[in-house]
Each structure stands twice: as C-alpha cells, then as structure tokens.
Amino acid sequence: MQRIKGIAVSPGIIVGRAFLVGSAEQVVPHRTIDASEVAAQHARLHEALAAAGREIAELSERTRRELGEEPAKIFQFHAGLLRDKALVAATERRVSEGLVTAEQAVADQFRVLVDQFKRMGNEVFEQKANDVIDLERRVLGHLMGAQESRLAQLDAPAVVVAHELTPSQAAAMDRSKVIAIVTDLGGRTGHTSIVARALGLPSVVGCQRLSAEVEDGDELIVDGNDGMVIVRPDARTLEEYRRKQERSLRSRAALRELSGLEAVTKDGVRIQLMGNIEFPEEIEAVLANGGDGVGLYRTEFLWLTRKEPPTEQDHLDAYLRAIRLLKGKPLTIRTCDLGADKYTQEQMEEPERNPFLGLRSIRHSLANPAEFKGQLRAILRASAHGPVKTMFPLVSNPMELRQGKLMLADISEELEDEGIPFDRQMPVGVMIEVPSAALMSRVFAAESNFFSIGTNDLIQYTLAVDRGNERVAHLYQAAHPAVVYLVKSVVRAARSGNIDCSVCGEMAGEPLFSMLLLGMGLRTLSMVPDQIPVIKRVIRSVTMEHCERLARRVGSFDSERQVETALRDELRKLDPDVFGHWVAE
Ligand code: PEP
Ligand code: MG
C-alpha cells in the first residue's frame, strides 16, 4: 500500500481500478501484458511506425519544396531508422520477451540508441541522438493517440491515471466509464481539473510520480476531498474509506436539498448563482443544482472534441441546444478561448515558446477572422431564440474589445441584409482576467455591457504563477492581497460605470471566498454546477452587513495568510459540520 498526496481538485471519494493513459511528451506508463496480447502489440507497433513513416515523407517533401534539397536530407536519417530491420526486430523482441506494451518497447529501445549516440561524444552524433528522440516522440505520439481512442471506449468503470491529461483527452473520455481522474502534473485551476469538476468526477492532480508507481488494473482509492491517492490499499484502509465515502455522499445529498430554495442572504439580498459549462449537456446539472442560468459557456471545447474547426452551423446547433435546455434562463457564451493549455501546441507548425503569453483567447480569434466570424454569426443568430450574452476572454487592451465589437456590428448588418433575426441589444461583455484589464476597468466599463472576472487567469497573471504547475501550486493564492485588491477595484469600476459584474473563476465556487465576494459587492457568481448548493448554503447563513464588514477588514490585510485565516474563521463559525471540510488547512 502506498499513500500519495496531491492537490484536491474535484470532491468525492471513489475506489476503483487504474487505467493508465500516456502522452507522447511524457512518461510512458508501465504496463505488462499477457502473452496472448503480443501479436496485437506487434500490430500496433507496425501501424505506428508506418504512420510515422508517412508523416516523415510528407515533412521531407514539404521541406524540399519550401527550403530545397539539402535541408530535406535531414529526414533521410529518420526514414532510414524507421526502415532499420534490426531496430524494428529488437523492439518487437522487447514486446514478446519482456511482455510489455508497444509504447514501453519503443521507449526502451529508442533510449538504448540515444545512449549509444551520446556516448560517441561528438557533435554529429549528439545531433543524431536528438533525431532519435524526435522520432521516438513521433512514434509514441501515434501509439498514445491510439490510447486516446482506447480511452473513449473503456469497457469497465476505471480511474484514469495519467502523467498529464490534455483537455482534449479529458473531453474525449467515455464519461459513463471514467469514475475518477488522477494525474502527476497539474494545478487546481488547470483545464483538466475544470473538466473533472464539470463531470463531477473525484480528482486529484499534482501527484508527482504516481503514474510511474501504478500499474494498469491496480486498486486505487481516490480521495478528491483531501487530495490523497492510495495505491493498492489494505483491507483496513479500504474499510475506513468506505465509511468516509458514505459520509461524504450523505453531506452532498443534504446540500442538494437546498436546490429548490433561493440564494438569498438572511437580510434579503438575492444572489444569482450561475453554472459554468463546457458542453450543453451540463445544463442538466446546472438546473438540478438550482442554478439561475449559465454564466460561462466555454465554447472552445467545441474545437477540442473535433479535428476540424467547428462551422457556423456546428456552433449554432450547440447554442440552440443550450438555449432549449435552459428554458428561458440566461446563457453567457464566451467566445473561443483557444491557446495556452487549451490548444494542443503540437497542432501548430511551430509551437510557441511561451503559450500562456502567446496567441491565445481573443488574440487567437482576431488572428483567425474567418473562424471568429463563424462563431460570432452563430452567437448572434442564437440570440434570437433566448436570452444570450457574449463575452470576450483574456482581453488585455481596449483595442481588442473594439475590434470584437466592430466585427459584431458588421455581422449584424450582414444578418439584417439577409433577413436573419437576432437580438440587436445582445449584451457584450469583457472577461477581466489580465491585470492590465483590471487596472483599466473604468475604460472597459464605458465600452461594454458587463464584466465577468476570470480569477483563474487573473491570479496566474497577477502573481506570475502558472495555474497548472504543481511545483508552484503553493504560490497560487486566491487570497493574495493583490488579487483581492484587483477584484475590488473591478467591482467598483463596474458599479461606477453602472454595468453588471460577476465572477466566473473557480474562486466563485469556493465557500471560503463567498462572504468576501459578497462583501465586495458581487451579486452574481458563476461556478461548477456541483458547487452551487454549498455556496447557496453560505449565502443563506449570512447577512450582507456581516459580509461587508469582513470585506473591509480583509481589504486592510497585507498577507494571504491573514486573509485566509480570517475567511476560515468566519466560515467555520457559520457551521463547523457543513464547512469543516472547506476550512481544513
Ligand atoms: C478564468 O480564467 O477564471 C476563467 C473563468 O476562464 P478559464 O478558466 O476558462 O481560463
Ligand atoms: Mg481564463
């Protein structure tokens, strides 16, 4: 038995069997196979080698066309290696004699070759070692790609274990079979974590080397409340966790009973609680949890689940489906937020060096006007069918807002000419998730209809802490006074500009911050649907005067420790039984 501590990102406790998923850039999960699987693994190996060969041929041809014969020659070595009978035979032997998967055999055999070249100790061979590594990644990419479809066709309930899971892998999972997600990398607000929460799957990330310790089929306890994974638990531990699991289910069921009640403070202030969704199907969970509508629809997931960019019709179909499911409740559609962790950089011809500061979100949309136009047309067309708002992500400069609005104005004229109905008053908002936008929020308030504060990115960019990096997860602090200060100034700017302001980052769904957010003046919070009941529980237990007093006190603190301690104390006082879990340090 082994206990591995990680970061709790999605609550719930589950016991299940491990299912390892790899990624080309990362550690290959170790999985031994049965002798009966050897032929199938050999076939996978040959398919991957052939696919890599086809890619190399294309790449070589393109390089020859664009750069000439000489540079194209570098691919001769790659192609030659793929045809090298000795290398292929040795890799096959690793499968048949070592009884390991094709990916393990490739990783091991190519590594031997890399070491051989490196030992030769001159620059030419050093370069060859790099070529082998490059080729290994390419072949593994094909093998792991095949794993993605394996992931889509799981035949029994399983805990997905991965070094790292891309959002598209997470989105492609067969959701009726995956019962929990555990990864080596990642932080609380990374996109895999958001998907896990959206799917209501217990999840722990940042488990360091867990995927190397676990074998396919191992029994695991995943404790998404405390961020603990127990590998091959003994009978006593299993029993202990079964009891914990029952308690956790009971308390969530009790909170769900609040879904029919209003989110109103003791002194009568009504708070709008909205759901964040990635797929229209999640609206069911928003409504079941008593949500007032959708405050954030992350439409980029339409891109991540298909190979080609979605067409205008694909967008429109998804939005109309969401509108139908919402039955008159509002829908806030965020335009595509591709890039950074929501874009497989491998799809780009040249991956960006610093994708989080690169061509992402609104910048990506403005750089791809044809695709962007298709989405904006679909949003406007959908607005004729229900209360739709739209907002632009990661705006850092008023010019981006103006360009986006200009495109909407042009499309409106087009639709008018075509006689297609749309809402001429559709509200257009800005996500405030970059410090420059927060600091200039007065300017943005004068030119937009609403703000939605994306604290996930706002924290990351304010504190210069990667939201998905477990090594700096301890520095990712929503309670940092700089974050509190920025949120407060954005709310003030919205108020003086007389526009609505909400929070749709994960902070909105954390009970620890509810009183502070209310006290700072927020009246709309948008979160993972499952969190709605617990936030409602906080709201129904407080008065606005209490929240405002707390916000004033917290606003004077100069360390996150002070902020957190004060918030914990207040939450604990409300009801230690209900909120005990959220105030645990
Ligand atoms: C945010 O950054 O807080 C946000 C809501 O957007 P996302 O998590 O999709 O980046
Ligand atoms: Mg964001």
Q: Give the per-residue pLDDT at 27.
A: 59
35-144, superfamily in CATH?
A: PtsI, HPr-binding domain (1.10.274.10)
Helix (H) or strand (E) holding 180: strand 178-183
Encoding tokens for residue 245?
């699991």
* Range in 95-109, 445-459, 487-501 with the lowest mean pLDDT: 95-109
Cβ(55)–Cβ(138) below 8 Å: yes
Q: Is the CB of 505 under 6 A from ligand 1?
A: yes
CA 457 to ligand 1: nearest atom = 2
Mutate to test the pocket of ligand 1, among 337, 432, 453 (most ligand atoms within 8 A of CB): 337
Specify the range with the lowest mean pLDDT, choosing from 29-43, 270-284, 315-329, 472-486: 29-43
Using the predicted structure, report yes or no on whether residue 347 has a pLDDT greater than 90: no
Average the pLDDT over each of 65-69, 82-86, 399-403 and give the range with the smallest value: 65-69
Residue of 182, 42, 141, 24 whose CA lies nearest to 101: 42
Stretch 500-523: mean pLDDT, rounded? 97
The percentage of residues in the chain with a pLDDT greater than 90, rounded to a whole number, is 60
Q: Is the CB of 514 within 6 Å of ligand 1? A: no
**Quick check: CB of 454 below 6 Å from ligand 1?**
yes
Q: Give, for ligand 1, the residue of 432, 456, 490, 526 to mutate: max count of ligand atoms closer than 8 Å to Cβ.
A: 456
CA of 221 relative to ligand 2 center, distance in Å: 31
Residues of the chain with CATH 1.10.274.10: 35-144
User: Is 336 annotated in the active site?
Assistant: no
CATH 3.20.20.60 boundaries in the chain:
256-271+431-578, 272-347+354-426
| Range of lowest pLDDT (268-277, 460-469, 555-564) | 460-469
Mapped onto helix, strand or coil, the DSSP state of residue 24 is coil
Predicted pLDDT of residue 130: 74
Average pLDDT estimate for 53-79: 78
* Residue bearing the bigger pLDDT, 143 or 406: 406
Candidates 2.40.50.140, 3.40.50.11540, 3.90.79.10, 3.50.30.10; CATH matching 2-23+150-235: 3.50.30.10
Ordered DSSP codes for 106-170: HHHHHHHHHHHHHHT-SHHHHHHHHHHHHHHHHHHHHHHHHHHHHHHT-SS-EEEEES---HHHH
- Report the separation in Å between the CA atom of 496 and the middle of ligand 2, taken as the mean of its atom positions: 24
Give pLDDT tens digits for 426-471. Answer: 999 999 999 999 999 999 999 999 999 999 999 999 999 998 788 8
Residue 28 or 286, more confident:
286
Residue 149: its pLDDT value, please? 62
Please report, rounded to a whole number, the percentage of residues in the chain having pLDDT higher than 70.
92
Confidence of residue 24 (pLDDT cuts 50, 70, 90): very low
Inter-CA distances, 395 with 122, 200, 430, 432, Å: 48, 30, 7, 7
* Selection from 99-108, 209-218, 287-296 with the highest mean pLDDT: 287-296
Q: What is the pLDDT of residue 349?
A: 61
- Could you tell me the distance, in angstroms and rounded to a whole number, from the CA of residue 393 to the centre of ligand 2? 7
Across 60-70, average pLDDT: 74
**Residue 563 identity (one-letter amino acid):** V
Which amino acid belongs to residue 84?
D
**Contacts of 100 by beta carbon, 8 Å cutoff, 6+ apart:** 30, 31, 32, 33, 94, 108
- From the centroid of its chain, how far is CA 125? 40
pTM: 0.73
The pLDDT assigned to 180 comes to 95
pLDDT at 217 over 80: yes
Q: Band of the pLDDT at 476, cuts 50, 70, 90?
A: very high
List the beta strands (DSSP E) in 484-550.
500-503, 524-527
What pLDDT does 147 receive? 61
Q: Provide the pLDDT for residue 353.
A: 83
pLDDT score, position 295: 98
Q: Give the CA distances from residue 183 to residues 76, 100, 106, 232, in Å, rounded to whole numbers and listed in that order.
A: 37, 22, 23, 17
Contact 433 CB / ligand 1 (< 6 Å): yes
Q: How far does residue 288's CA lie from ligand 1's centre (Å)?
A: 23
191 is catalytic: yes
pLDDT of residue 340: 77
SS (H, E, C) 404-470: HHHHHHHHHHHHHHHCCCCCCCCCEEEEECCHHHHHCHHHHHHHCCEEEECHHHHHHHHHCCCCCCH
**How many Å lie between the centroid of ligand 2 and the Cα of residue 386?**
25
**pLDDT score recorded for residue 136:** 85
From CA 224, how far away is CA 201, in angstroms rounded?
A: 9
Q: How far is the CA of 299 from the centre of ligand 2 (A)?
A: 12
Q: Are 532 and 271 in contact (CB under 8 A)?
A: no
Supply the mean pLDDT for the chain: 89
- Cα of 564 vs its chain's centroid, Å: 25
According to DSSP, the β-strands at 450-453 and 428-432 are: parallel
Mean pLDDT confidence for 383-410: 98
Residue nearest to atom 1 of ligand 1 (CA): 454
pLDDT reading at 335 higher than 80: yes
Mean pLDDT of all residues in 248-271: 89
398 by Cβ neighbours in 10 Å (0-12 / 13-18 / 19+) ranks as: middle
Among protein residues, the one whose CA lies closest to atom 4 of ligand 1:
454
Q: Which of 116-125, 362-371, 429-438 has the lowest mean pLDDT?
A: 116-125
CATH class of domain segment(s) 256-271+431-578: alpha beta
* CATH of span 272-347+354-426: 3.20.20.60
Burial of 567 (0-12, 13-18, 19+ CB in 10 A): buried
Q: Which of 78, 191, 364, 480 is catalytic?
A: 191
In the prediction, which pLDDT does 459 show? 97
Q: What is the largest CA-CA distance in the chain?
A: 78
Ligand 1 atom having least distance to the Cα of 433: 2
Question: Which residue has the CA at smallest separation from atom 3 of ligand 1?
Answer: 454
Sheet holding 13-21, edge to edge: 2-5, 228-231, 219-223, 13-21, 158-162, 178-183, 203-205, 7-10
Does residue 344 surpass a pLDDT of 50?
Answer: yes
Does the beta carbon of 456 sit less than 6 angstroms from any atom of ligand 1?
yes
Tell me how far the alpha carbon of residue 456 lies from the centroid of ligand 1, in angstroms: 5
Burial of 510 (0-12, 13-18, 19+ CB in 10 A): buried
How many CA atoms are closer than 13 Å to the CA of 322, on its beta-carbon side?
A: 33
Altogether, the residues listed in the chain come to a count of 585
Say which amino acid occupies 71.
P
**Residue nearest atom 9 in ligand 1 by C-alpha distance:** 298
Q: Does the C-beta of 457 come closer than 6 Å to ligand 1?
A: yes
Q: Is the CB of residue 337 below 6 angstroms from any atom belonging to ligand 1?
A: yes
